[in-house]
Structure 1
Amino acid sequence: MSEWMQAIAGLCAAVVAMVVLWPLRSSGKRAPFVAAVIAIGVAGVALYLLVGTPKAVDVVADEGPATLQQGVRELEQALEREPQRADGWALLGRSELALGNTEKANQAFSRAVSLAPDEAPLLVEAAQARAQGDSGKQFDDTALQWLKHAQQMDPASERAGWLIGIAQRQRGQDAEAAATWEALLPRLEPAAAAALREQIAIAREKAGMPAPADAAAPSVGLDIEVTLGPTSAGKALPAGTQLFVIARVPGGPPMPVAVEKHPATAVPLKIRLDDADSPMPTAKLSSLKDVEVFARLSASGTASRQEGDVDSEAVRVTLPHKGTIRLVL
């Protein structure tokens, strides 16, 4: 078993144990809590040894980290030997957060971001860690920059949009926060959308804006139908494959002006793209004369194109557009 995998297996198990068993500590039973965390951490390493490597039956493994602190030290030693591991630095950041060491956590996350600057989930996690380490729980300029870049990399990231809105409100940019959150509403479950509407109403009131109308006037939109062609219909898709329906500026940047995300199992699908699907408040679908529309099956679950993704043929239309745009994957 490699030192990397030993450190990671024990460390992950210990972190999970801390979360699961925290009520035991809170009840005052500190000794059983510590013993249980250590036991689960060691068990995590043992399980990897037995299941994760074919040679487990022939090899006597080294002992795993007995405590989370020891696991962190071993991970730090591994990173000294392999400092280019962004995943290792991110794991170190999470572990330091679990220990309450926010300064060290932020140093680790910053290192991870420098190695993987376009990984949206990492950018969001690192930004949130910076806010957690601030005495006022404020998103500083670096954190906000990371969040905006995460949204550029993955326009469908609800978490990035939510946190950007919080950062904007912290800066007194209430109108901008309301617009940011309004763009999230079409992607949320009804209960989450209702809760977010309450925050939008507060932001609009702070900005001196009128309350949202109960029934918005019809906006410029595109009616789109997505189907599978013969090749895609007969192909088994990886679990978690997502469908993105994207409108963007023809010949312009890859950043969508409108996007919707759905599970691949929803195909065939009929949707309407409009301003509510615009990930950036300053770039609305209705403000454009021409757009390019296409659909993408993404095994990675992100809107940015990755190797193995399946794209439909792009269709260019002039707004306002009547009729249904048919996209075949």
Structure 2
Amino acid sequence: MSGSWLPTLAAMAATAVGLVVLWPLRATGRRAPFLVMVVAVGVAGSALYYLVGTPEAATPTARTGEPASLRDGVVELQRALERDPQRADGWALLGRSQQALGNLPEANRAFTRAVQLAPDEPELLVEAAQTRAQADPAKQFDDTGLQWLRHAQRLAPGSERAGWLIGIALRQRGQDAEAAATWEALLPRLDPGAATALREQIAIAREKAGLPAAATPPAATTAATALTVTVALDPAFAARARLRDDASIFVIARVPGGPPMPVAVEKHRLADLPLRVTLDDADSPMPTQPLSALKEVEVFARLSASGQANRQEGDIDSPPVRVPLPHAEPVPLLIGGP
């Protein structure tokens, strides 16, 4: 087997799988832009170049050709796994490839084998659970799939995809209140557009659970309590710091002296700095505590390399500023300043 075609096979599988992983929202009967977020955390495969260790060592000298198609590549991959069946990454790649070919039962079997070999890999657990549900005739998450998702969430509490799919699994079981609570916990980590779409799904789940709908304040009230914030990096800090291009900036408002849960949050790219944003009720992650219901907030900005709103090691916060509401003037925030 030529090592050079493995990244190509993985990329082909990943591209094709991207077309079929959009089914969960269809299972809820609704379409929403949040699908984009689910896909954004989707499948990666090209890193499996080292599937058989040293590619040359696994390549018979008489074989120099590369697979002509994904289907041929799957055959080659199956032969490699017969020689070395303990490679979880190889079984995962086989699962993605079978999924791309539409062979969902075979994909499910391959992912199940991968999970048996690597039971503590969060992304693998999530991918295996989703494939297992796709292979089910009713597109349902069974107990095993839900168990994998919950284990993935325990291993990686910030996993948006795990949280989203757990919510779907709970709704399939008629546990709408639990689904709503699971999705509400995701909101602080989403960009504004995805959060707005997810709130629509939360509203549906709350209605089915018989829970009260989130109060929507009048437009005038929302405008009166909207809070404009500017965010910038300290020039000296920016010059000496090694900042990742994919780092995120969170603009967060919370109750002064209260719990760390934001009452309003927006996520932006580091490349967007300097920022001027407006926080309002649309940015409230918890429908029961909109920004318009507060008389005072503490606002700050967080530079996050992990992309998670919850504080992680290495994150850098601007000094918090306590602001009475309503507040007419923009609130300046500086990250990395003295």
Query: What amino acid is aligned across from residue 237 of structure 1 in structure 2?
Result: L
Measure the CA separation in 2 of the matches of 1:127 and 1:238. 31
Residue correspondence of structure 1 range 18-37 to structure 2 within 5 A: none
Measure the CA separation in 2 of the matches of 1:243 and 1:139. 34
Measure the CA separation in 1 of the matches of 2:147 and 2:78. 27
Q: CA deviation at 1:297?
A: 3.5
Q: TM-score scaled to structure 2, two decimals?
A: 0.56
Which deviations, in whole Å up to 9, do the C-alpha atoms of 1:210-266 show, x marking residues without a partner?
222113999xxxxx99875645543453432335789xxxxxxxxx96697543335
Contact 2:248 2:267 in 1 (8 A): yes
Change (3 A) 1:162 1:19: closer
- Picking from 92, 96, 100, the partner of 1:90 is 92
Counterpart of 2:67 in structure 1 is 65
Greater shift in the superposed pair: 257-266 or 155-164: 257-266
Counterpart of 1:263 in structure 2 is 269
Change (3 A) 1:125 1:6: same
Equivalent position SS for 2:153: helix
Equivalent position SS for 2:109: helix
Equivalent position SS for 1:74: helix
Change (3 A) 1:118 1:11: closer
Q: How many residues of Structure 1 are paired with residues of Structure 2 in the alignment?
A: 261
Q: CA deviation at 1:268?
A: 6.5
Change (3 A) 1:101 1:14: closer
Measure the CA separation in 1 of the matches of 2:7 and 2:86. 16
Change (3 A) 1:100 1:194: same
Equivalent position SS for 1:162: helix
Gaps of 5+ in 1: 21-59, 219-223, 247-255, 279-292, 316-320
Which deviations, in whole Å up to 9, do the C-alpha atoms of 1:119-166 show, x marking residues without a partner?
443332221111101121111222223323333444444332222111
Measure the CA separation in 2 of the matches of 1:304 and 1:85. 34
Measure the CA separation in 1 of the matches of 2:161 and 2:243. 26
Q: CA deviation at 1:95?
A: 0.8
- Picking from 166, 169, 175, the partner of 2:168 is 166
2:245 aligned with 1:239, yes or no?
Answer: yes
- Picking from 100, 107, 110, the partner of 2:109 is 107
Contact 1:7 1:64 in 2 (8 A): no
Contact 2:141 2:169 in 1 (8 A): yes
Structure possessing the higher relative contact order (Cα contacts under 8 Å, 6 or more residues apart): 2
Equivalent position SS for 1:310: coil
Residue correspondence of structure 1 range 265-284 to structure 2 within 5 A: 265-266=271-272
Measure the CA separation in 2 of the matches of 1:114 and 1:314. 44
Measure the CA separation in 2 of the matches of 1:17 and 1:167. 24
Q: TM-score scaled to structure 1, two decimals?
A: 0.58
Equivalent position SS for 1:183: helix
- Picking from 172, 180, 183, the partner of 1:181 is 183
Query: What amino acid is aligned across from residue 65 of structure 1 in structure 2?
Result: P
Query: What amino acid is aligned across from residue 240 of structure 1 in structure 2?
Result: D
Query: What amino acid is aligned across from residue 214 of structure 2 in structure 1?
Result: P
Q: CA deviation at 1:10?
A: 4.1
Contact 2:250 2:303 in 1 (8 A): yes
Root-mean-square deviation (Å): 4.8
Contact 2:16 2:100 in 1 (8 A): no
2:5 aligned with 1:6, yes or no?
Answer: yes
Contact 1:244 1:303 in 2 (8 A): yes
Q: CA deviation at 1:15?
A: 6.9
Gaps of 5+ in 2: 20-61, 223-228, 253-259, 287-299, 325-330
Counterpart of 2:200 in structure 1 is 198
Measure the CA separation in 2 of the matches of 1:17 and 1:88. 18
Counterpart of 1:129 in structure 2 is 131
Counterpart of 2:34 in structure 1 is none
Q: CA deviation at 1:94?
A: 0.8
Which deviations, in whole Å up to 9, do the C-alpha atoms of 1:168-214 show, x marking residues without a partner?
11111111112222334452443x44543333233222212122211
Contact 1:244 1:296 in 2 (8 A): yes
Query: What amino acid is aligned across from residue 79 of structure 1 in structure 2?
Result: L
Measure the CA separation in 2 of the matches of 1:145 and 1:91. 22
Counterpart of 1:310 in structure 2 is 314
Contact 1:226 1:295 in 2 (8 A): no
Q: CA deviation at 1:72?
A: 0.8
Change (3 A) 1:132 1:328: same
